[in-house]
């Protein structure tokens, strides 16, 4: 999977979990929890869904490294 | 035999649409069974039955709008017991909240339900006894006199004068939903805004709040949680909020006075702990459904139930008991970076607990100054029901529990 595929996958999960978020609201370099009002519960759901798709588990200690769509995609590339 | 009526699912629900029956005539039902789905401003709610029996007759067809209190079905008791016995049972079983809500709703209900045909206020004022001076004053102030409770059956001038400006505002606010509801088709978002407006206005007007706040060192609890989560798959991870809810349930067992209702000038402590969890809806508004029986859940159960509750709340799929049974409210605004929350109590509850952000902060330990994960826990209490000492005791217990996270399991 390349970065673009991962980013699309993450966006898809965000839209799934937060159905009222519009796709064009999502800025790849912004913190998704703050900018899209994704709470810790939804955030965990996004990581869980990404784990199912990619097999990569983000430990709690690394949450700071996966704040934005772009960071998250990079993290998955590094850990695939 | 007894009538099963459309329940009041929150202080301001007037009516709901019966969408679907889950039972048919002749079916056997037990207390707690979901027998129908109704659509309200809070989404689709599964309605539970409060007694055992047999569905004798369904009185309302699917997709019918019914006002609160409308008989929906006749439930025949299993063993041909008399109605009186059943009715008595029902009162005991249901949380006192519902009883209060219905009482409170009645005058309002009348006001709101009639307007479809005729302007209500006039109808009401003709029936009300009010002294001429008071009527004149009410008109000057723009007060809807139908919302005022007469003393000895008559509204007197002195009573109006005694209203403070805040209360007058409340009266004015409460008129709005009536006006809008008349013309408009149901707008979910607006309906919820109005429900929140009415409940919070009532709280602010009637409940003398006291507020307490305490800084809690969350490092021991978070470190413990991190260790716990390391051994788990991502699906089974526990969020700090689940741990906080669990800690509240434990602290409330030690200080039960905050868990209950203010009803008829008296505090009624609830044995069961059903914290209402404030869950924000992204489209706006919030719902505080009950996490039922939090007192008998361990940490895993608390997380599972919370996860289930949030998912169903956002999908608009709650059960009637979850909207009626709340004994206290927990609100967490930490995700949004807020330091402390000073909540408004949801009547007839007597307390709301607030959690702020957990963040690195300087912390003195002995002679040393160090950095710890620190969180502000706040409590708003109803001063009619408890004093600050009780609230302080609760926050102290909460802090203690979080310093000994093993107890939370």
B105-140, pLDDT tens digit by residue?
444 333 333 333 333 333 333 445 566 566 666 666
Indicate yes or no: CB of A41 within 8 angstroms of CB of B230.
no
Flag whether residue B280 sits within 8 Å of chain A, measured between CB atoms.
yes
Flag whether residue B307 sits within 8 Å of chain A, measured between CB atoms.
yes
pLDDT for B399 equals 97
- Mean pLDDT of all residues in A60-64: 87
- Chain A residue with minimal CA distance to B227? A60
pLDDT (tens digit per residue) in B298-354:
999 999 999 999 988 888 889 999 998 999 999 998 887 899 999 999 999 999 999
Q: Which two tokens stand for residue B210?
A: 């006291």
Residues from chain A that touch B282, judged by Cβ atoms under 8 A, are 18, 20-21, 37
Q: Tell me the nearest-neighbour CA distance from A38 into chain B, angstroms.
A: 9
pLDDT for B153 equals 56
Q: Which of A33, A41, A51 sits opposite B234 (nearest CB)?
A: A51
Task: Kindly state the greatest CA–CA separation across chain B.
Answer: 75
Residues from chain A that touch B280, judged by Cβ atoms under 8 A, are 37, 39
Residues from chain B that touch A44, judged by Cβ atoms under 8 A, are 234, 237, 239
Q: Which of B239, B283, B337 sits opposite A44 (nearest CB)?
A: B239
Most A CBs within 10 Å, among B335, B356, B359, B373, to test the A interface: B335
- Chain A residue with minimal CA distance to B242? A41
Q: Is the pLDDT at B7 greater than 80, yes or no?
A: yes
- Chain A residue with minimal CA distance to B357? A40
- Poorest-pLDDT segment among B16-30, B31-45, B58-72, B143-157: B143-157
pTM: 0.72
- Mean pLDDT of all residues in B144-165: 58
Question: What CA–CA distances, in Å, run from B337 to A37, B241, B284?
Answer: 11, 14, 18
Looking at per-residue pLDDT, the higher value among B96 and B189 belongs to B189
Return the SS3 of B279: strand
Residues from chain B that touch A41, judged by Cβ atoms under 8 A, are 239, 241, 306-307, 310
* Per-residue pLDDT band at B169 (split at 50, 70, 90): very low
Q: How far is the C-alpha of B139 from the C-alpha of B99, rounded, in Å?
A: 33
Question: What CA–CA distances, in Å, run from B393 to B298, B387, B389, B401?
Answer: 23, 10, 6, 12
Indicate yes or no: CB of A41 within 8 angstroms of CB of B235.
no
Indicate yes or no: CB of A40 within 8 angstroms of CB of B230.
no
Q: Enumerate helices (H) and strands (E) in chain B, giving the number of each.
A: 12, 19
Q: How far is the C-alpha of B320 from the C-alpha of B37, rounded, in Å?
A: 9
Q: Tell me the nearest-neighbour CA distance from A72 into chain B, angstroms.
A: 16
Q: Which helix (H) or strand (E) holds B111?
A: helix B96-113
Burial class (CB in 10 A: 0-12, 13-18, 19+), B334: buried
This model of the complex carries an ipTM of: 0.83
pLDDT for B406 equals 92
Question: What CA–CA distances, in Å, run from B331 to B56, B184, B241, B377?
Answer: 42, 32, 10, 10
pLDDT for B119 equals 38
Q: Provide CB contacts within 8 A for A20, sequence distance 6+.
A: B282, B283
Q: B213 forms bridges with which residues in the sheet?
A: B378
Q: Provide CB contacts within 8 A for A63, sequence distance 6+.
A: A43
């Amino acid at each position: 999977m390349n970065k673009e595929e991962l980013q699309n996958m993450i966006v898809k999960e965000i839209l799934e979990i937060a159905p009222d978020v519009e796709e064009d609201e999502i800025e790849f370099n912004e913190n998704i929890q703050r900018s899209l009002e994704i709470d810790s519960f939804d955030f965990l759901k996004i990581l869980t869904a990404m784990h199912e798709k990619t097999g990569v588990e983000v430990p709690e200690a690394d949450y700071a490294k996966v704040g934005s769509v772009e960071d998250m995609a990079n993290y998955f590339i590094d850990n695939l | 035999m007894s009538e099963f009526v459309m329940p009041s699912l929150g202080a301001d629900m007037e009516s709901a649409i019966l969408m679907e029956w889950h039972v048919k005539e002749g079916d056997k039902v037990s207390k707690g069974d979901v027998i129908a789905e109704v659509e309200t401003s809070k989404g689709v709610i599964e309605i539970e039955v409060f007694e055992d029996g047999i569905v004798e007759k369904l009185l309302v067809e699917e997709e019918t709008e019914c006002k609160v209190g409308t008989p929906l079905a006749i439930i025949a008791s299993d063993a041909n017991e008399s109605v009186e016995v059943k009715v008595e049972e029902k009162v005991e079983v249901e949380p006192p909240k519902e009883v209060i809500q219905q009482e409170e709703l009645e005058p309002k209900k009348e006001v709101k339900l009639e307007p479809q045909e005729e302007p209500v206020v006039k109808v009401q004022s003709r029936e009300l006894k009010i002294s001429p001076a008071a009527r004149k004053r009410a008109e000057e102030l723009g007060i809807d006199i139908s919302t005022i409770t007469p003393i000895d059956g008559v509204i007197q001038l002195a009573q109006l004068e005694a209203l403070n400006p805040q209360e007058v505002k409340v009266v004015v606010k409460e008129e709005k939903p009536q006006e809008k509801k008349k013309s408009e088709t149901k707008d979910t978002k607006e309906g919820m805004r109005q429900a929140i407006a009415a409940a919070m206005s009532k709280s602010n007007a009637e409940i003398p709040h006291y507020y307490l706040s305490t800084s809690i060192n969350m490092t021991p609890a978070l470190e413990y949680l991190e260790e716990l989560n390391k051994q788990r798959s991502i699906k089974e991870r526990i969020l700090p909020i689940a741990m906080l809810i669990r800690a509240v349930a434990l602290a409330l067992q030690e200080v039960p006075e905050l868990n209950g209702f203010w009803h008829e000038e008296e505090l009624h402590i609830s044995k069961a702990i059903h914290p209402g969890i404030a869950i924000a809806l992204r489209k706006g508004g919030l719902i505080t459904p009950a996490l039922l029986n939090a007192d008998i859940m361990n940490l895993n159960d608390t997380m599972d139930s919370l996860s289930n509750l949030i998912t169903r709340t956002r999908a608009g799929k709650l059960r009637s008991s979850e909207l009626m049974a709340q004994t206290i409210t927990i609100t967490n605004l930490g995700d949004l970076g807020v330091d402390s929350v000073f909540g408004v109590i949801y009547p007839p509850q007597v307390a709301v607990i607030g959690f702020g952000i957990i963040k690195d902060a300087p912390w003195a330990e002995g002679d040393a100054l160090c950095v710890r994960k620190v969180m502000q826990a706040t409590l708003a209490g109803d001063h009619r029901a408890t004093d600050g000492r009780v609230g302080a005791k609760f926050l102290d217990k909460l802090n203690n529990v979080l310093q000994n996270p093993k107890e939370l399991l």
